[in-house]
């Protein structure tokens, strides 16, 4: 499932929804760090997330309880694909090479990466 990218504020709301599974705007607001945005700001972000079809709701009269329509894993997968496509010409080796060069990886980090690769290779 391809998901439209979210803004930082939208991601912050989604992280809370993924953690809580479902919540009212006041519950989301209570989980946000200080200084908290206004209630109306969070409500607006939720409506945008609805339009992007990543949040659904159950209505209780005039009150709505919101829940994610996509999993955090699906969102991460979509964002990773977009990153690789946009900046690394759809090349995983280019992505890995970039992170090796730019992040001064320690031998232990490289060993962990190689271990992951080997486990994946052996599982196929």
- Mean pLDDT, contiguous 10-residue spans, the chain (124 residues): 82 97 97 95 97 96 96 92 89 84 79 85 82
Residue 2 in domain: no
* Residues 14, 68 contacting (CB under 8 angstroms): yes
Cα separation of 56 and 94, whole Å?
37
Q: What is the pLDDT at residue 1? A: 57
The residue range of the domain holding 77 is 72-123
Supply the pTM of this predicted model. 0.80
**Is 118 inside any structural domain?**
yes
Residues 61 and 76 in one domain: no
Residues 60 and 28 placed together within one structural domain of the fold: yes
Helices (H), the chain: 8-20, 25-31, 39-51, 72-87, 92-102, 107-123
CA distances from 78 to 18, 38, 44, 55 (A): 16, 30, 24, 16
Total domain count for the chain?
A: 2
Q: Are residue 62 and residue 77 in the same domain, yes or no? A: no
User: Domain check: are 32 and 76 in the same one?
Assistant: no
């Amino acid at each position: 499932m391809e998901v439209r990218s979210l803004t930082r504020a939208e991601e912050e709301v989604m992280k809370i929804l993924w953690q809580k599974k479902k919540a009212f705007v006041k519950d989301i607001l209570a989980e946000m760090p200080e200084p908290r945005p206004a209630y109306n700001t969070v409500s607006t972000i939720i409506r945008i997330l609805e339009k992007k079809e990543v949040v659904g709701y159950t209505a209780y009269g005039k009150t709505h309880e919101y829940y994610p329509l996509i999993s955090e894993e699906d969102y991460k997968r979509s964002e990773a694909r977009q990153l690789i496509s946009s900046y690394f010409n759809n090349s995983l080796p280019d992505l890995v090479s970039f992170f090796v060069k730019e992040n001064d990886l320690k031998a232990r980090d490289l060993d962990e990466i190689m271990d992951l690769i080997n486990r994946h290779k052996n599982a196929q």
